Structure 1
Amino acid sequence: MSNQSKIILLSLMLFTVEGCSMSRAVNKTLSPPPDTKWANFEVKNPSQYTKPFPLEVRYISYECMKKRISGFDGSVITEPSYNFIGIPMQQESGEIWKAKVVMTGGGSCKWTLSAVNLGIEYIDAIHLGKDLVPGTAVGVTLAFDNDASRNGQFTFVTGDVDLSPKYYPYIREKKIGGVENSLSLIGKKDFLSLRVGEISSVKFSPELDERKITSFVGLEKKIKDKYPKIIYPDGSVAPEKTLFPDFDKIDKMNVN
């Protein structure tokens, strides 16, 4: 599971007491109706060192409500219940991985599809450094309803989805505290955010160019007026106190 979806899951479950009609346990069993629609997901894996992570699927129910204690004033808030499911992707042929998700989960709580996370992550990092471990994942968050897109940071799209975002390797050498050095992927955004409707298919075909490696080099120890460095593929160094690499700068670089 990606770091982003773990944070979402924790925030939704924090201080939550679940109940169906406010009195009995929520039944999370799915029972799709015979005429339900399915959404088909396809990921084209760009490298032998990466792999699609299992689909992170969230269903929502307005039939079975839950109570949540507000962290601000202790008041009781009534809101919908959520049902989180992981669906492994199956390798169809070579680099193509597929899975499908039911749009209407049904069941006694009348579950409906709210959001899906999909994407890729490194599963092997030592080909770019013997001390590296796989880092964070990248991909896309698809919101199927207003609840999932309520933070307003989602781009509305119509019809089926076909994405081919670019990614480059990002090595983090965090030296203080003995943190493991990691290899992640960097893109225009770590996770694209799209608001969709009743789509039938999603294709995610990321491009990965490992010739352009950006590195974050930490300090051996804290030293006044000394800061970690971000080193771009051409050897140039980002200005001091830069927190994140400039993706557009990486993308435009010519590296042999």
Structure 2
Amino acid sequence: MVKQINTLKNPASALRLALVSCALLFTLGGCRQDYSLSPPADSEKISVTVKLPEGLKNKTMWVMYRSATCKHIGTGASGQRTERDGYHSVYKELERQGQSDLYQVELPKDGGGACRWHLANVTFGVEYADLTRFGENVIWGGGGGVVVIFDHNNSPRGGADFIVDGDLRIRKDYYPWLSEAFIGGYKKHISLAGEGRIYLKYQALQARHIYFEPILHSDFRVLSAQPKEIKEGNYTAFTYPDGSVVADGRSNPDFLKLQSLRTGRAGDCLSPWTYHKCPDRRPQLLPEWLPVPDKPGFGQYLIVDEWGNKLPTYDYRLVGKDGRINKWKTDANGLTHPVPESMHPLREVEFP
């Protein structure tokens, strides 16, 4: 028979019991702490927009809020007590904007509540809407994901690969990748091969608008087949759209090779890391006319490559609105020879 303990007759015992109970609850996450989100009505909003190409669909967005007030209590490798910011996850579906191909969600930056939540990161992306178009028993593989971090913590997918200032605009190419695996049972996956592996990860502390435009090149499919037995020298074989087969030890398609096959340009021209070796660097003249401080009435133009890098000692030919011609090389900072204001704006630009 279980008897109820009557602590009302002993106020001191009742107080001790309450304190012990509260202490126990606190170690588990706080005494009667309210962990719910409660964004204030005037909270600043962060918008995420996806321009969805035909054949793909949006994945459910994973939104994480963090709190320095409500700590997550854990145990370290040596049994010591550990504390880190608490976290709270919510899941959102992006809503279609009218009859357009734009899908959007707005998120309060301030999560409010007793824990004073703040928006920490979002994980979203795209995947194929219909897997049956690739055959029977084909399952989704991965790719087409984006992580944006709004604070100084890592996301559940790790830290950022890129740090950006201001708003974030992402426009990336993707290719269908159909892969077969044999070891441990036959599996067939369809994935999106892109610049990153599965996720592109950004830290954007000041961003208020996130725009993601995946560009799907459906006509440039890459196939892969893993070896049927584990043996030295057995590698996954990739068959590219031009029919070439490569088995060089890589586990993912050669993205720059796909870009090169589609565009007809050398692979070095398609990466900012190897662009200095590009045989056909594409220069461009920025439209702003920059006055020369010690030469009144004269200004210069800046010439850069397609990645925004300044091009020193680069040949150019300018024809001004007055018909005058300026033919020279850029200086060490990528600037043209000073030209008179009468030539601005330019009528013609050539790079011999």
Question: Shorter-chain TM-score category?
Answer: 0.7 to 0.9
Q: Who is 2:200 aligned against?
A: 192
Within the alignment, does 1:116 sit opposite 2:122 as a pair? yes
TM-score by length of 2: 0.61
Within the alignment, does 1:73 sit opposite 2:90 as a pair? no
Q: CA deviation at 1:106?
A: 0.4
Paired with 1:199 and 1:224, the residues of 2 have a C-alpha distance of 48
Q: CA deviation at 1:37?
A: 0.3
Count of matched residue positions in the alignment of Structure 1 and Structure 2: 237
Rg larger for: 2
Q: Aligned to 1:249, what secondary structure does the other structure show? A: helix
Q: CA deviation at 1:198?
A: 3.8
Q: Who is 1:242 aligned against?
A: 250
1:152/1:41 CA distance change after superposition, 3 Å: closer
8 Å contact 1:20–1:64 — kept in the other structure?
no
Q: Which residue, 24, 31, 44 being the options, matches 2:31?
A: 24
Q: How do residues 94-243 of structure 1 correspond to structure 2 at under 5 angstroms?
A: 94-148=100-154, 153-189=160-196, 190-222=198-230, 225-243=233-251
Can you list the C-alpha shifts for 1:70-95, whole angstroms capped at 9, x where unaligned?
2x322221111011111111122242
Q: CA deviation at 1:140?
A: 1.6
The percentage of counterpart residues that share the same residue type is 26
Larger RCO: Structure 1 or Structure 2 (Cα < 8 Å, ≥ 6 residues apart)?
Answer: 1
Return 5+ residue gaps in structure 2 as ranges.
Answer: 1-24, 265-352
1:35/1:255 CA distance change after superposition, 3 Å: closer
8 Å contact 2:236–2:247 — kept in the other structure?
no
Give the aligned residue type for 2:36.
T
1:25/1:55 CA distance change after superposition, 3 Å: farther
Paired with 1:182 and 1:19, the residues of 2 have a C-alpha distance of 46
Q: Who is 1:87 aligned against?
A: 92
Give the aligned residue type for 1:86.
Y
Can you list the C-alpha shifts for 1:141-200, whole angstroms capped at 9, x where unaligned?
111000136965432212222211110011111122224311010101132221112432
The answer to which of 94-103 and 52-61 deviates more is 94-103
Give the aligned residue type for 1:67.
I
Give the aligned residue type for 1:252.
S
Give the aligned residue type for 1:228.
T
Paired with 1:173 and 1:104, the residues of 2 have a C-alpha distance of 45
Cα-Cα RMSD: 2.6
Q: Who is 2:69 aligned against?
A: 63
TM-score by length of 1: 0.83
Q: CA deviation at 1:242?
A: 2.2
Q: CA deviation at 1:137?
A: 4.0
8 Å contact 2:30–2:70 — kept in the other structure?
no
Paired with 2:59 and 2:27, the residues of 1 have a C-alpha distance of 31
Paired with 1:53 and 1:35, the residues of 2 have a C-alpha distance of 28
Q: Aligned to 1:158, what secondary structure does the other structure show? A: coil
8 Å contact 1:211–1:255 — kept in the other structure?
no
Q: Aligned to 1:178, what secondary structure does the other structure show? A: coil
1:236/1:59 CA distance change after superposition, 3 Å: same
1:225/1:191 CA distance change after superposition, 3 Å: closer
Q: CA deviation at 1:102?
A: 0.7
Greater fraction of residues in strand: 1
